[in-house]
Amino acid sequence: MVDAQRLRIARQHLETTRLLGVDFVPVRAAAAAAAAALPTTQETRSTPRSSGVAPGGPGLRAERQAALDTLRARHDRECDHCTRSTQHTNIVFGEGDPCARLMFVGEAPGAEEDRTGRPFVGRSGEKLNDMIRAIGLERDAVYIANVLKARPPNNATPTPEEAQRCGVWLRQQIAIISPRVIVTLGKPAANYLLDNRDAMGAMRGRWFEYAAPDMPAPTPVLPTFHPAYLLRAYTVENRRLVWADLQKARERLDT
Ligand code: URA
């Protein structure tokens, strides 16, 4: 195993203990993992750590950001769902690296997201941030969006019909960002992108493909639990399942 890989696994080990809610890490194990996480001189000199971020240079990044900005302006004027919505405060279009290799797709803004105009900034957002860090990435290295861009009244789960009306904009975001992997959070996002009505149990942890005519190749999609569900059902088993899903996504990014 190359040093960079050992380094990543050691870091992830420490993060996993946090994600799984393990309060106690034996001192020797923690010290060994921390020591392994220190870059060797050789690594510092020559081995770039895989960041999960597309290598797109400033030109490509600026181009994609401009395309996303244009798309957002059109969305705000034309979206068949959001222009009819009367109860939201802010549109939550999405945020992150326009060249991200990993994209997370949730269902719809909640109260805090509606207030700030940013996706996943409430309690679910804190959990999502933990999940992102657990695979050795920073939040600003990924892209985060929702199927619905305006908060549904009473935090209702998006209906398939609402998802169809707003989801066309998500599809265009995906086409611009062109991520290597999409992780869907919860059932509505998976059902919309995979065009099915399957139960979460039938989808979670399995690879699917998202194919679109405006994209050169299908994008691998991995459904996992929504962080809000994880917070509600904070069992060791659920945390392990989400951890396994995140590992799968990370491995796919690294290949
Ligand atoms: N839940 C979601 O699905 N999306 C958000 O942005 C916040 C909570």
The pLDDT of residue 228: 97
The pLDDT of residue 3: 59
Distance 227 CA to ligand 1 centre (A): 9
The pLDDT of residue 55: 67
Which CATH number applies to 50-254: 3.40.309.10, 1.10.3470.10, 3.40.470.10, 3.30.1540.10? 3.40.470.10
The pLDDT of residue 57: 80
The pLDDT of residue 25: 34
Mean pLDDT by 10 residues, the chain (255 residues): 57 54 36 35 35 72 98 98 95 98 98 98 97 97 98 94 97 98 98 98 98 94 98 97 98 92
The pLDDT of residue 92: 98
Distance 31 CA to ligand 1 centre (A): 36
The pLDDT of residue 27: 32
The pLDDT of residue 159: 95
162-167 LR contacts (CB < 8 Å, sep 24+): 162/81, 163/188, 163/191, 163/192, 164/192, 165/79, 165/80, 165/81, 166/79, 166/80, 166/81, 166/82, 167/192, 167/193
The pLDDT of residue 52: 57
Is the beta carbon of 146 within 6 A of some atom in ligand 1?
yes
The pLDDT of residue 77: 98
The pLDDT of residue 2: 55
Is the beta carbon of 182 within 6 A of some atom in ligand 1?
no
Q: What is the DSSP letter of 179?
A: -
Distance 119 CA to ligand 1 centre (A): 6
Q: According to CATH, where is 3.40.470.10 located in the chain? A: 50-254
Distance 112 CA to ligand 1 centre (A): 9
The pLDDT of residue 58: 82
Is the beta carbon of 105 within 6 A of some atom in ligand 1?
no
| Residue of 146, 155, 166, 183 with the most ligand 1 atoms within 8 Å of its CB, for mutation | 146
d(CA 89, CA 85) in angstroms, rounded, equals 10
Distance 34 CA to ligand 1 centre (A): 33
186 Cβ contact list (under 8 Å, min separation 6): 106, 107, 200, 225, 226, 228, 229
Q: Which residues of 141-168 are buried (b: 16+ CB within 10 A; e: fewer)?
A: bbbbbbbbbbbbeeeeebeeebbebbbe
The pLDDT of residue 61: 96
